[in-house]
Amino acid sequence: MATATILLIEDDAETRRLLARVLQEAPEQYQVLTQASGRHGLDELERHPVDCVLVDYRLIDVDGLTCLRQIRASHPTLPVIMVTGAGSEEIAVEAMKLGATDYVVKHGHYLRLVPGIVREALGRRALGGVSSFGDTPGTELPASVRARFRARGIIGESPALAQAIGLAERAASSRVTVLLEGDTGTGKEMFARAIHAEGPRADRPFVAQNCAALPESLLESELFGHARGAFTGADRARAGLLVDTDGGTLFLDEIGEMSLPMQAKLLRVLQDGVVRPLGSSETRQVDVRIIAATNRDLPAATKKGLFRADLHYRLRAFPIRLPPLRERPEDVRELAIHFLRHWGDEEGTSPGAFAPETLRLLEAYAWPGNVRELEHEVHRLVLCAEPGRSITPDLLPSEILAGRGDDDGEAPLKDIVRRVEAAAIQDRLRRHGYHRTRTARSLGVTREWLWAKMRRLGLFIRNPQEDDPPDDSEPDPKAEPKDDDDES
């Protein structure tokens, strides 16, 4: 394979020399052309064909963004990597939106990262991975991009979703740190998996960790690993997720719940790519892409001193807001039909189509739990509906029939209890293979009480396990449990 030619536009002579040397000494032995100003760099590009451009943001004549715009206008598929100083990550984000392939921040051991970034950029170009979609209003999302994300479970045609998909596709083609922002249930982990799978690290590990799921001491050990004897019970050393994910992507969900000491340790990983296990004095270099997610207001948490401003700044290198379902009601119909087919296959039943009025009510509801709530509701409908029969409005819960969503947090207690009970019973039934006796035993109730409660909640089992004697397959109506509000 012919040696690739790299154009380096950098006005600082020492930095220019170091960058050129690290590229020339890389295993690929790149040929490097250098220029000290933006104008001379653009002229060089017209004189000599190159395979990739590295351009510094601060130049002696024009800035790097101006160079980027001109390069994109004349060479739309040419990889361009923006080089910025520490503390200028917002410039890198702007560059990505204008079409930069990736960016490098002059901080710590950044020189060792440059050959790999160039190699990934050249690889994406060879695969035709340059995208022109940014966050410019009115930009049409290519059908091929929409289809690829749809295949990964991200479904919908709304402009709000297209905006998020377009930014995710742009982020996927780089190694930029991504912060997914959005309400609970909007699909943050699904987006994180799609960004990983669509990028150059797709063949490397993807690991997800919920930062709120473990106490601080366990989370530190889980992420950074520990030396043998670091704490009671540590009878062997453990590498930790950051080392296990080396070369891949680590998804940190609910990052806003991470403690301040843990935030400081994560910041070092983002800045220097260095991991030190708990109880060890040794460090290890890792190359891990971080995708974080939160449903908290991190700027407000930063002002209150609950979240480090420098870490927030690092994580927001490329923010993507995932829209709540109430902002994309035109997607509800398509999502509902998709979940109907999925759960019909999963449950081994053949539910009929949604009645038109049922779909209208689903579209009118605000879905405070977003896509996750919609999926759970369709799953319940699959269990309740008669095979082959249309799913009619009488199967819907009262809050959807009323056409309202309790997104203001003012749901009546009885409605909250009803939803929690239905979800808990559904989950336990699935765990026990829809065997009523084992399910009732696990819940600490009688079989008759469970069957009566299920009837009240509208939970009907399709093809249940035959664990009930014929003489009590129908419960005594008198055994039906009462709710608190029935005492009046």
Tokens of 200: 């150059």
pLDDT above 70 as % of the chain: 84
Q: Report the chain's C-alpha Rg in angstroms.
A: 27
214: number of CA atoms within 13 Å, CB side?
A: 14
pLDDT digit string, tens, across residues 146-201: 899 999 999 999 999 999 999 898 888 777 789 999 999 999 999 999 999 998 88
The answer for residues whose C-beta is within 8 angstroms of residue 300's C-beta and 6 or more apart is: none
Instruction: Report d(CA 354, CA 337) in Å as an integer.
Output: 8
Count Cβ atoms below 10 Å from residue 454 Cβ, excluding itself: 22
Tokens of 265: 């340790």
Counting beta carbons within 10 angstroms of the beta carbon of residue 488, is it exposed (0 to 12), middle (13 to 18) or buried (19 or more)? Answer: exposed
pLDDT digit string, tens, across residues 142-154: 888 889 999 999 9
Q: What is the secondary structure of 312-350 as a DSSP string? A: HHHHTTEEEEPPPGGG-GGGHHHHHHHHHHHHHHHHT--
pLDDT at 470: 38
Q: Average pLDDT of 239-254?
A: 92
User: What pLDDT band is residue 483 in, cutting at 50, 70 and 90?
Assistant: very low
User: How high does pLDDT run on average in the chain?
Assistant: 83
pLDDT at 124: 63
Q: What DSSP designation does 307 have?
A: S
> Highest mean pLDDT range out of 120-124, 235-239, 320-324, 434-438?
320-324
- 283 beta partners: none
> Highest mean pLDDT range out of 273-282, 330-339, 400-409?
330-339
pLDDT digit string, tens, across residues 369-396: 999 999 999 999 998 888 888 898 888 8
| SS3 annotation, 51-119 | CEEEEECCCCCCCHHHHHHHHHHHCCCCCEEEEEECCCHHHHHHHHHCCCCEEEEECCCHHHHHHHHHH
Q: Average pLDDT of 397-402?
A: 84
218 and 240 Cβ atoms separated by less than 8 Å: no
Q: Average pLDDT of 454-458?
A: 71
- Give the SS3 label for residue 423: helix
- Between helix 413-431 and helix 370-384 the angle, nearest 10°, is 70
pLDDT at 87: 63
Q: What is the secondary structure of 172-236 as a DSSP string? A: HTS---EEEE--TTS-HHHHHHHHHHTSTTTTS-EEEEETTSS-HHHHHHHHH-B-TTSSTT--S
pLDDT at 2: 65
227 and 183 Cβ atoms separated by less than 8 Å: no
pLDDT at 328: 92
Backbone phi, psi, residue 207, to 5°: -130, 135
Which domains, and CATH codes, for the chain?
5-126 (3.40.50.2300), 143-321 (3.40.50.300), 328-486 (1.10.8.60)
38 and 13 Cβ atoms separated by less than 8 Å: no
The more confident residue out of 357 and 470 is: 357
